[in-house]
Chain A
Amino acid sequence: MPGKTLDFVGATGRAAVRFAATVGEWGVLMQDTIRGLRAVRIWGKLVFEQMMRIGVDSVPIALFIAAFTGIVLALQASYTFTGAVPVYLVGSLVGKTMIIELGPVLTGLALAGRVGASIAAELGTMRVTEQIDALETMAYDPAAYLVLPRVLAGGVMFPAVTLLASALGIVAGWLTAIQLLDMSTPEFVRGLETFFVPFDVVFSVIKSFSFGLTVTSLGCFFGFRTRGGAAGVGRAATSAVVASSMVILVFDAFWAAVLL
Chain B
Amino acid sequence: MRRNEVWVGAVILLSVVVAVAGSFWLRGYRLTGGTTTVEALFSGVGQLTDGASVKLRGVTIGRVNGIAVEPDGAAVRIGLAINAGLQLPADAAVLIAPESMFGDWGAEIVSRSAHPRLDFFQPADPEVLPGFAIADLSRLTATADQIAENLATITDRVEVAFTEETAANLRIVIENVGRVSEQVAELADAQIGAVEDLVENVRTSTNEVAQAAALATSTLGEVERLLSGGVVDSIVGDTRVTASEFRQLATDLRETTTGLATTLQFADSTLVRFERIGRELEAGEGTLAQLLADSTVAVQTQSVLMQLSLLLEDFRENPGRYVRLSIF
**Hey, what's the 0/1 contact readout for A205-234 against B, CB within 8 Å counting as 1?**
100000000000000000000000000000
B4 with A164: CB separation less than 8 A: no
B19 within 8 A of A: yes
B18 within 8 A of A: yes
A161 with B15: CB separation less than 8 A: yes
Q: How far is the CB of A50 from chain B (nearest CB, A)?
A: 9
Q: Which stretch (B23-31, B171-179, B187-195, B276-284) binds chain A? A: B23-31
Question: Could you say which of A84, A192, A201 has the most chain B C-beta atoms within 10 Å of its C-beta?
Answer: A201
Which listed residue, B4, B26, B50, touches A51 by the CB 8 Å rule?
B4
A55 within 8 A of B: yes
- In the bound assembly, the distance between CA atoms of A260 and B325 in angstroms comes to 181
A55 with B11: CB separation less than 8 A: yes
A56 with B15: CB separation less than 8 A: no
A13 within 8 A of B: no
B15 with A163: CB separation less than 8 A: yes
B7 with A86: CB separation less than 8 A: no
Residues of A close to B100: CB separation below 8 A: 86
Residues of A close to B26: CB separation below 8 A: 95, 192-193, 196
**Hey, what's the 0/1 contact readout for A38-73 against B, CB within 8 Å counting as 1?**
000000000011011001100100000000000000
**Hey, what's the 0/1 contact readout for B78-109 against A, CB within 8 Å counting as 1?**
00000000000000000000011110100000
**Hey, what's the 0/1 contact readout for B9-48 against A, CB within 8 Å counting as 1?**
0011011101100110011100000000000000000000
A254 within 8 A of B: no
A196 with B27: CB separation less than 8 A: yes
B290 within 8 A of A: no
A19 within 8 A of B: no
Q: A48-B4, A48-B5, A201-B23 are in contact. Are A160 and B11 (CB under 8 A)?
A: yes
The count of chain B contact residues (Cβ–Cβ below 8 Å) is 26
- In the bound assembly, the distance between CA atoms of A163 and B18 in angstroms comes to 7
Residues of A close to B104: CB separation below 8 A: 194-195
- In the bound assembly, the distance between CA atoms of A164 and B8 in angstroms comes to 13
A52 with B8: CB separation less than 8 A: yes
Q: How far is the CB of A60 from chain B (nearest CB, A)?
A: 11
B7 with A56: CB separation less than 8 A: yes
B5 with A201: CB separation less than 8 A: no
B111 within 8 A of A: no
Interface residues of A in 219-258 (CB under 8 A from B): none
B2 within 8 A of A: yes
Q: A160-B11, A196-B26 are in contact. Are A52 and B49 (CB under 8 A)?
A: no
- In the bound assembly, the distance between CA atoms of A52 and B27 in angstroms comes to 32
- In the bound assembly, the distance between CA atoms of A198 and B22 in angstroms comes to 9
- In the bound assembly, the distance between CA atoms of A52 and B22 in angstroms comes to 25
Q: A48-B2, A157-B8 are in contact. Are A197 and B15 (CB under 8 A)?
A: no
- In the bound assembly, the distance between CA atoms of A127 and B49 in angstroms comes to 54
- In the bound assembly, the distance between CA atoms of A88 and B265 in angstroms comes to 130
Residues of B close to A84: CB separation below 8 A: 101
Residues of A close to B16: CB separation below 8 A: 160, 163
B28 with A161: CB separation less than 8 A: no
Residues of B close to A201: CB separation below 8 A: 19, 22-23
A159 within 8 A of B: yes
Q: How far is the CB of B106 from chain A (nearest CB, A)?
A: 9
- In the bound assembly, the distance between CA atoms of A79 and B99 in angstroms comes to 23
For B104, give the chain A residue with the smallest CB separation.
Answer: A194
Q: How far is the CB of B80 from chain A (nearest CB, A)?
A: 16
Residues of A close to B8: CB separation below 8 A: 48, 51-52, 55-56, 157
A128 within 8 A of B: no
- In the bound assembly, the distance between CA atoms of A192 and B25 in angstroms comes to 10
- In the bound assembly, the distance between CA atoms of A196 and B104 in angstroms comes to 11
Instruction: Please give 15 more A-B residue pairs, beta carbons under 8 A apart, in addition to A49-B4, A59-B11, A161-B15.
Output: A48-B2, A48-B5, A51-B8, A55-B12, A157-B11, A160-B11, A160-B16, A163-B15, A163-B18, A164-B18, A194-B99, A196-B26, A196-B27, A201-B19, A201-B22
24 interchain pairs (CB within 8 A)?
A: A48-B4, A48-B8, A51-B8, A52-B4, A55-B8, A55-B11, A55-B12, A56-B11, A156-B12, A157-B8, A157-B12, A162-B15, A163-B18, A163-B19, A164-B14, A164-B15, A167-B18, A194-B104, A196-B51, A197-B51, A198-B23, A201-B19, A201-B23, A205-B19
Q: Give the A-binding residues of B (Cβ under 8 A).
A: 2, 4-5, 7-8, 11-12, 14-16, 18-19, 22-23, 26-28, 49-51, 53, 99-102, 104
